Amino acid sequence: MRPEKEPRRKAKTREVSIRGIPVSHGVAIGAVYDTSEEPTLAPRRQVDAGHVEDERARLNAAAAASRKQVGKLKARLGVLPEEAQEELAPLLDAYAMMLGDSRLLRGARRRIGEELLAAETAVQDEAEAIAAVILAAKDDDKPGLKRRAGEVREIARRLTRNLTATPFRSLKGVPQGAILVAEELTPADAALLDPARIAGVATEEGGADGHTAIMLRALGIPSVLGCPGLTEAAARGDEAVLDGSAGTIVLRPGPAAMEAGREALAAYAKEKTRLGKLRRLPSVTLDAEEVELQANLEIPAELPLIAQAGAQGIGLLRTEFLFMNREDLPDEDAQFHAYAQIVGPLAGDQVTIRVLDWGGEKDIEALAEGIEPYHAGPNPALGLRGIRMLLKRPELLEAQFAAILRIAAQGPVRILLPMVTVPSEVAQAREIYERVARRLRRKGVPLPEKLPPLGAMIETPGAALAADAIALEADFFAIGTNDLAMYTLAVDRAEAEVAHLYDPLHPAVLRLVQFATEAALRLRMPVSVCGEMAGNPRLVPLLLGLGIRTLSMNASAIPRVKQVVRTLQIDDCARFARRVMEQSDPKRIQELVMAFGEPAAARD
């Protein structure tokens, strides 16, 4: 592809239709904006023995520059939709690990010394050697293996561009409403896309299972990848019709193709409008059972999306944003002002604030520097994280409790404790909570007469099986089905080798959800689901049948979930849930869920 397309030598006028891989639903009509990345010129070369340390120093400098770039990408996560954050965060964490004391860098340094290779040659050779080992692994998950090999090659590419001072692709000049065309986009490129600005994306390379495809779906940008001959056929400024559902892009469309594109765009817009109208309608079943649909919130900037979706408050406010991308820990006042930005605009709707959930895979620089990194260890996901860490460092918990108690005077809030596994953790947290409340009252700080409820997240098998005991200490439950499935099945979705084993419909996961729900309902205690299951319209009948009446999800999922709720009757859901819970085969459960959801899905 020509670098950023010089003026065209000859205008192309013939209509060209290219079929690729449908990646992200939606229709876009707009002008092509082609973008290419300057090729890296890094011919193989060797160095004299006297320059080995110089090459290793160059490699260290390139790694430091790459880590800084990845850090900037992580800082941008906050402006992306939640799905995009969930996809990109673990990937960037993997990038950061590979830019540390990794096999890639250790191997490259060894090659510099033993084979007298230039730094960029050593990086490329080591990356290809690692990728070859990954791809040769005996694993049925071939797309996962390709993603892992691609991650290694992407880091090698970044190191090489920094070693050779080759600039990266710039997306700053993309005009409003353009369809971005490129040979290939990396996940890092996708993270820089603005969904409000770019109408669609088409690339010559790529597939449906890669990180870039997942990112584009999370961003909600209509996209088609793997379009053969695209960059040769397209020219900047060409009119184009892109259909992300059909997997086609038509360049320089004639009257018929343009009319078909307009009809598809109108149908897509009509569907979005129809779902938008649901905002004003109540979330009730056909037999008048109310189902509360709340939103998960990552950062205050997402508040407008929550309002547009018609959420009934916030069912999960993650507070990690307060601690990230800063050099010091936020004090009580800083946290209070941050909560005020959220509680105030919600005008009386409830906000459930989860206290800091740090540890495991999460990396917060201010905490790493401010306290001993307790999360370090051979198995951090099973180490000191969530409420365990907070009880070890109660000053962190006290500051959050104080800020939340102060904001409770301005609107209804609840407090949620993460990673609870035993009743004593809730009891210990409540002692700190009540002590903080007494201190604030002595100081004359306005607090609500009745303290906000203190709840527990149920996200481990231990917590679910001990739910009846935990319910005696907690005021409400929030079932986090993402971690619950992960810990129950011993599967990390970010690990390509086992990601295919992750299944929230596994009977063990469903029985734990049922056990925790029934424990709460016996005590007439509020219980909600706030994992991905809550935002899946197909699973709504099952969750309602198990007794759940509050669902918290990404704001964009609320309209479709509400649409399904309004087609259901609770008795039907209960009978369906009983039938599902009798099954022991995950595939049979999947079949039942898909069959039950067909009528509602057909009306989507």
pLDDT at residue 354 in the model: 96
Long-range (24+ apart) CB contacts under 8 A made by 44-51 are 44/117, 44/118, 44/121, 45/117, 45/118, 45/121, 46/115, 46/116, 46/117, 46/118, 46/121, 47/112, 47/116, 47/117, 47/118, 48/116, 49/116
The pLDDT of residue 46: 92
Give the Cα separation of 567 and 561 in Å (integer). Answer: 10
Q: How are strands ordered across the β-sheet holding 198-203?
A: 16-19, 248-251, 239-243, 27-34, 178-182, 198-203, 223-225, 21-24
Q: Rounded to whole angstroms, how far apart are CA atoms 143 and 153?
A: 15
Same domain, residue pair 205 and 265: yes
Give pLDDT, residue 79.
64
How does strand 223-225 pair with strand 21-24? Answer: antiparallel
If asked whether residues 108 and 204 sit together in one domain, one would say no
Single-letter code of the amino acid located at 245: S
Give the per-residue pLDDT at 174.
Answer: 86
Domain total for the chain?
3
Phi, psi for 95 (deg, rounded to 5): -60, -45
Find, among 177, 162, 220, the residue nearest to 24 by Cα: 220
| Residue in 507, 508, 512 with CA at minimum distance from that of residue 462 | 512
Q: Coil, strand, or helix at residue 134?
A: helix
Do 230 and 322 fall within a single domain? no
Q: Which CATH number belongs to the domain containing residue 501 in this structure?
A: 3.20.20.60
pTM for this entry: 0.64
Q: Could you tell me the residue range of the domain that residue 583 belongs to?
A: 280-602
**556 within 8 A of 588, measured Cβ to Cβ:** no
- Is residue 7 in a domain? no
Give domain status of residue 45, yes or no.
no
User: Which amino acid belongs to residue 432?
Assistant: I
| Residues 181, 199 within the same domain | yes
Last residue of a domain, one of 135, 164, 193: 164
pLDDT at 123: 94
Q: Which of 538, 451, 496 is nearest to 139 (CA)?
A: 496
Same domain, 262 and 285: no
For the chain, give the mean pLDDT. 86
What 3-state class would DSSP assign to 507? helix
Domain boundary among 243, 271, 299: 271
Which residues contribute to the annotated binding site?
Answer: 318, 354, 459, 482-483, 493
Answer yes or no: do 264 and 292 share one domain.
no
Q: What pLDDT was estimated at residue 11?
A: 59
Residues 308 and 454 reside in one and the same domain: yes
Please enumerate, by residue number, every residue annotated as part of a binding site for phosphoenolpyruvate.
Answer: 318, 354, 482-483, 493
Residue 128: CB partners within 8 Å, gap ≥ 6? Answer: 153, 156
Domain with residue 130: its CATH number is: 1.10.274.10
> Which residue ranges in the chain fall short of pLDDT 70?
1-11, 78-87, 137-144, 209, 218, 299, 301-302, 304-305, 324-327, 359-381, 493-497, 499, 597-604
150: left (phi over 0), alpha (psi -120 to 50) or beta: alpha
Say if 536 falls within a structural domain: yes
Question: Residue 380: what pLDDT?
Answer: 61
Catalytic residues: 211, 530
Shared domain for 481 and 553, answered yes or no, is yes
**Lookup: tokens for 251:** 């360049």
Give the sign of the dihedral formed by CA 455, CA 457, CA 463, CA 467.
positive
The answer to whether residues 69 and 195 belong to one domain is no
Domain edge (last residue) among 224, 243, 271: 271
Residue 10 in any domain: the answer is no
Do 117 and 177 belong together in one domain? no
Q: Which residues contact 336 (CB under 8 A, 6 or more apart)?
A: 402, 403, 406, 407
Instruction: Assess whether 157 and 227 both reside in one domain.
Output: no
| 359 neighbors 390 (Cβ within 8 angstroms) | no
Q: Which residues contribute to the annotated binding site for Mg(2+)?
A: 459, 483
pLDDT for res 506: 95
Can you tell me the distance from the alpha carbon of 197 to that of 188, in angstroms, rounded to the nearest whole number? Answer: 17
Six-digit token string for 239: 């009119």
Same domain, 127 and 183: no
What string of H, E and C letters represents the secondary structure of 65-109? Answer: HHHHHHHHHHHHHHHCCHHHHHHHHHHHHHHHHHCCCCHHHHHHH
Give tens-digit pLDDT for 568-597. 999 999 999 999 999 999 999 999 999 985
Chain centroid to CA 380: 20
pLDDT for the residue 476: 98
Residue 266 belongs to domain with CATH number: 3.50.30.10
